Structure 1
């Protein structure tokens, strides 16, 4: 539908998610994981040609759990049956690795994995109550006045992330950088530790994720984990649709 109506796209903004950890899609994919990984990557791959046609800013912003990247179990990539925190950390790593490969394929587009912090949203609407989740929800509600990010502040930070020249593509062209930086800001360090690498993992305060995240992602690239994660999703796409991306 989008591809039939638009000739170019400046910003692809993704925030889909669910806590329905035991549900599956009609294609047999775990719902919670597929919303983080499959649906976001498919949107990116399908719409990359339109993003690359934009004459000004070209950017993908995906809102999930940046800065929480953690270990990946290659024997259970969808993190089925994992505790919530382990699911979050593994999914965060997988999403960042997928964005890195997308950035390699489209160096003229910038990719940002970010997180909103704790924000009141609809992500728990499909939650299947467990003792662990019920305790977590109760604690979050009790602490919400102290730990929540307001919707207004969250929106401000995400608009900045989506528009600032702080997050440039690796291959920068005239007009594609974004809103010019003030003197107090500089182009950000990417997930590979290099300035202006085209792929950024950004926490809920707008800061680049710590060096331990960079080291972990480096390990994933070196030991082949990044490739295996990409191939896992690619194989699902081929099995379900017959193509890696919709042409």
Structure 2
């Protein structure tokens, strides 16, 4: 366990680095994503941060507050419907106009509805689009820019340690859909997509992060989405249990953001291969005293694969026998090929040539 004081001291060290860390945030208009962006603004020296969201007008006040925290920082909002693959492509094209490299990619968008399976116009279930498919598309498009960083780091804030079983014939959970099954499948597929990307891009660190119990509006929005016969039963815990749980059991989004920024900048989570170009090559800030290198998801002869399943204390999740079995069965390639196929189908749907 890495203490919160060590995490904060590590983050403070970012102030001593040269200016200009470049970060891209998907899902940073609220919750853990916003907390992480606020931590970057607080600690980093003149960073440049891109915020992806649906409404530029609603985000303008956030940017104003962030500029008060760090007047030397640059914040750019890029508007788009993140659940749509075609919009993700447009967002990436905008970022590529301004940047030649990206140091940190932090992804946290999510929405769980109690209304059952709902598909985007591209035919992807909305929750899975936000938690998995659109995130992987964003990452895939920005890989060339990440590779040009001396310490590239990718973080997907989801459910590391809570992975669930996969049906390789139904990875989109179309049969007998439920939100828990889909969310756990998204977590498992995140692990395997990261491992496949790490094989192709060994100079990048990939972290699947479970932030723990955080007092965000996520559960409140989920209960608020209930309709029909579920509406009244959902309102009871929403206005009784949830406020008490949030106050007593959860950390704040700002604290969670500080913890996430540590994951994004410490040498505790090195890639498979040092980049070897400029500066530090496995993180921006040296590990706190007594804190070792984290264990990656696959270890061979003492060398890791640059992929990590990390919790809120910057510790890695226990070995998962289910994931090990899937690796032996080649599930990584299955998930990768499936995901590419979903992208192709979604883009063909845009032009009216697909389903």
Bucket of the pairwise TM-score, normalised by the shorter protein: 0.7 to 0.9
Unaligned stretches of 5+ residues in structure 2: 1-93, 349-355
Equivalent pairs, count: 239
Q: Which residue of 1 aligns with 2:68?
A: none
Q: Could you tell which deviates more after superposition, 227-236 or 121-130?
A: 121-130
Q: Deviations over 1:129-177 (max 9, x none)?
A: 1649937756443322332121222011101001010001101134221
Q: Secondary structure at the match of 1:228?
A: helix
Structure number with greater Rg is 2
1:241 CA displacement? 3.1
1:198 CA displacement? 0.5
1:144 matches 2:252:
no
- Alignment counterpart, residue 74 of structure 1, candidates 165, 168, 174: 168
1:205 matches 2:299:
no
Q: Which residue of 1 aligns with 2:225?
A: 128
Q: Which residue of 1 aligns with 2:99?
A: 6
Q: Secondary structure at the match of 2:336?
A: helix
CA–CA distance in structure 2, aligned partners of residues 199 and 38 of structure 1: 18
Q: Which residue of 1 aligns with 2:343?
A: 237
1:188·1:196 contact (CA, 8 Å) conserved in 2? no
CA–CA distance in structure 2, aligned partners of residues 222 and 10 of structure 1: 32
Q: Which residue of 2 aligns with 1:170?
A: 272
1:12·1:60 contact (CA, 8 Å) conserved in 2? yes
Q: Give the root-mean-square deviation of aligned CA atoms.
A: 2.3
* TM-score, with structure 1 as normaliser: 0.87
2:122·2:347 contact (CA, 8 Å) conserved in 1? no
1:189·1:196 contact (CA, 8 Å) conserved in 2? yes
Q: Secondary structure at the match of 1:37?
A: helix
Q: Which residue of 1 aligns with 2:123?
A: 28
CA–CA distance in structure 1, aligned partners of residues 183 and 318 of structure 2: 17
Counterpart mapping for 1:97-136 below 5 A: 97-123=192-218, 125=221, 128-129=225-226, 131=230, 134=234
CA–CA distance in structure 2, aligned partners of residues 47 and 233 of structure 1: 16
CA–CA distance in structure 2, aligned partners of residues 168 and 84 of structure 1: 33
* TM-score, with structure 2 as normaliser: 0.62
CA–CA distance in structure 2, aligned partners of residues 34 and 136 of structure 1: 27
CA–CA distance in structure 1, aligned partners of residues 291 and 168 of structure 2: 38
Q: Could you tell which deviates more after superposition, 155-164 or 81-90?
A: 81-90
- Greater than 6 Å deviation, 4+ residue runs: none
